Amino acid sequence: MRQIEGVVSDRGSKYAVSGGLVSSRDEVDAFLKTLKQAKKYAKATHNTWAVLLDDAPLKNDDGESGAGMVILRMLEREGLRNHVIVVTRWYGGKHLGGDRFRHVQDCVRVYLEAEAAA
């Protein structure tokens, strides 16, 4: 599991990105469970995720409407399969409007760059 914290901070909201290899929905669930064992991730406002599994794409907005699709589209463009990416947001008290999608994209981009460099 790769975790990158402090990727974006805007109007009090803070973002992190995590990811790892998975090959089934059960493994996605296990990944999320492991991530949320850390209290700060369990208490996050949103843990939005997406994955392109061999049999089907999966995503979950976790209350951040539309964010899962942003992650999924970026995975599709990269052709990255069987790799879940989770963007975590801790809400800072101010609505970000459309900027939240740019922040999700920034988080995914940072993660993909870290994976390419590894």
pLDDT digits over 32-73, tens only?
999 999 999 999 999 999 999 999 999 999 989 999 999 999
- In this prediction, residue 113 carries a pLDDT of 95
pLDDT digits over 65-79, tens only?
999 999 999 999 999
Nearest to 84 by CA among 34, 12, 11, 9: 34
- In this prediction, residue 94 carries a pLDDT of 80
Q: For the range 112-117, what are the long-range contacts, defined as Cβ-Cβ under 8 Å and sequence gap of 24 or more?
A: 112/74, 112/78, 112/80, 114/2, 114/4, 115/2, 115/19, 115/80, 115/83
- Mean of pLDDT over the chain: 94
The whole-number average pLDDT for the span 3-22 is 93
